[in-house]
Amino acid sequence: MASQSLTLPFVGAAWRDRILDGLRDNTYVFALVLTVALIIANTAVLPAFASWSQVPSELGTLAPFALAAMASTPAILSGGGGIDLSIAPLMGLVNIILVTGLLSHGLGNPAIAVPLLLLLGGVIGAVNGVLVGVLRYPPVIATLAVYFVLGGIDLRLAPDPVSTNPNWTNQLASTLWHVPGTIFTVGVVLLLWFFFRRTAYYGALFAVGDDDVAAFASGVNASVVRIVAYTLGGVLAAVAGIALTGTIQSADVTVWPFYVLIALAAVALGGTALTGGRGGFLGPALGATCVYLIQNLLSALGIDVFYVQVAFGAVLLVAVVGGAFLGRTAQRPRGAG
């Protein structure tokens, strides 16, 4: 990806850098094109899909997909085999606590509930971060073990689904103050990401994600960078859990397991490399949109829900294999004849 010394008219060097930076991570273009194609397909099958009144609730259903994908991203970006499998059960935990612990006990005021839940997400994310960044557990196994623990907790707290009365989360999944509620979840996160890109931490995250040894040897505190990455993931998972509550309006342990695969498929579709050091939030968000649209299309076509499971699995496989096929680096030893 050689960039020539480009001089753009009216644009100073600093702006030019920003534009180039943005274009450099254009791996999400494929997801963007696919999104457009899927929107067209969905509208063709069910014209009501594109009606203005449906959009807020569609976005509301999309929100947990996108947020789960974005929550999985910081861990992947931080490299070293980074991945966070505990995002989905954490979503579930937030969902369950919000419904059974807060809303049903009169503590559902968003001013109380939201910070509390975000804190919970952050703490659990930090646990993952310490396991990986300080104690050097392989990320797969650390987050998998946490997945089991959280899954067990979820099952204990809500063995059967518990519905909730209409509450403020419902507006997140539909309309809030005349705009789609999703603006306040996904929109806010994307906006924060935009500013996040200017921070010092951002550069450190990508350095550590690409080559942690080089970063460490140059004085970057790789452990702290990874702890923060997983903590961020936890906080975003909490947001995802809140958005999820908005759509399902209940505490239900059978829902979150799907998000493991959905999140990873979305990240892969969006073009983020699983090896770390490359990517952003836009890719996963677009990838999640594709996954959501595929699910929507299949159910609009009346296809058996089990085939949706097949489809998700297939999408994940195609996305990762396709991504590996297209983008790659490694020199492999030519051992095999």
Shortest separation between residue 189's beta carbon and other proteins, angstroms = 21
Q: How far is CA 167 from CA 102, 212, 240, in A?
A: 11, 45, 17
Which one among 8, 17, 107, 115 touches other proteins, defined by CB under 8 A?
17
Per CB under 8 A, does 156 bind other proteins?
yes
Q: Which of residues 230-269 bind other proteins (CB under 8 A)?
A: 260-261, 264-265, 268
Per CB under 8 A, does 148 bind other proteins?
yes
Judged by CB, which is closer to other proteins: 80, or 246?
80
Per CB under 8 A, does 180 bind other proteins?
no
Binding segment (CB under 8 A) for other proteins, from list 93-101, 103-111, 216-224, 294-302 = 216-224
CB burial string 92-127: b at 16+ within 10 A, e below: bbbbbbbbbbbbeeeebeeeebbebbbebbbebbbb
Per CB under 8 A, does 221 bind other proteins?
yes
Tokens of 173: 């999944």
Q: Which of residues 117-136 bind other proteins (CB under 8 A)?
A: 131, 135-136
Vertex 247: Cα angle to 244 and 249 (nearest 5): 95
Judged by CB, which is closer to other proteins: 111, or 330?
330
Judged by CB, which is closer to other proteins: 190, or 261?
261
Judged by CB, which is closer to other proteins: 120, or 265?
265
Shortest separation between residue 306's beta carbon and other proteins, angstroms = 4
Asked if 308 contacts 49 with a C-beta cutoff of 8 angstroms, the reply is: no
Binding segment (CB under 8 A) for other proteins, from list 103-111, 149-157, 236-244, 289-297 = 149-157
Judged by CB, which is closer to other proteins: 112, or 192?
192
How do 162-163 and 250-251 pair as beta strands? antiparallel
Shortest separation between residue 170's beta carbon and other proteins, angstroms = 28
Binding segment (CB under 8 A) for other proteins, from list 33-41, 63-71, 111-119, 274-282 = 274-282
Binding-site size for other proteins (CB under 8 A) equals: 90
CA 248/CA 23 separation, integer angstroms: 37
Q: Which of residues 36-75 bind other proteins (CB under 8 A)?
A: none
Which one among 142, 229, 285, 286 touches other proteins, defined by CB under 8 A?
142
Binding segment (CB under 8 A) for other proteins, from list 76-84, 168-176, 182-190, 291-299 = 76-84
Tokens of 221: 């505190």
Give, to the nearest 10 degrees, the angle between helix 222-248 and helix 87-96.
50
Which one among 31, 207, 237, 282 touches other proteins, defined by CB under 8 A?
207
Question: What stretch of H or E contains 176?
Answer: strand 175-176
Alpha helices, H only, 78-109: 87-96
Alpha helices, H only, 87-211: 87-96, 110-129, 139-157, 168-172, 182, 188-196, 200-210
CA 201/CA 192 separation, integer angstroms: 14
Asked if 280 contacts 190 with a C-beta cutoff of 8 angstroms, the reply is: no
Q: Which of residues 187-206 bind other proteins (CB under 8 A)?
A: 199-201, 203-204, 206
Which one among 39, 55, 116, 144 touches other proteins, defined by CB under 8 A?
144
Binding segment (CB under 8 A) for other proteins, from list 50-58, 60-68, 90-98, 309-317 = 309-317
User: Residue 92, Cα to own-chain centre: how many angstroms?
Assistant: 14
Tokens of 25: 């991570």
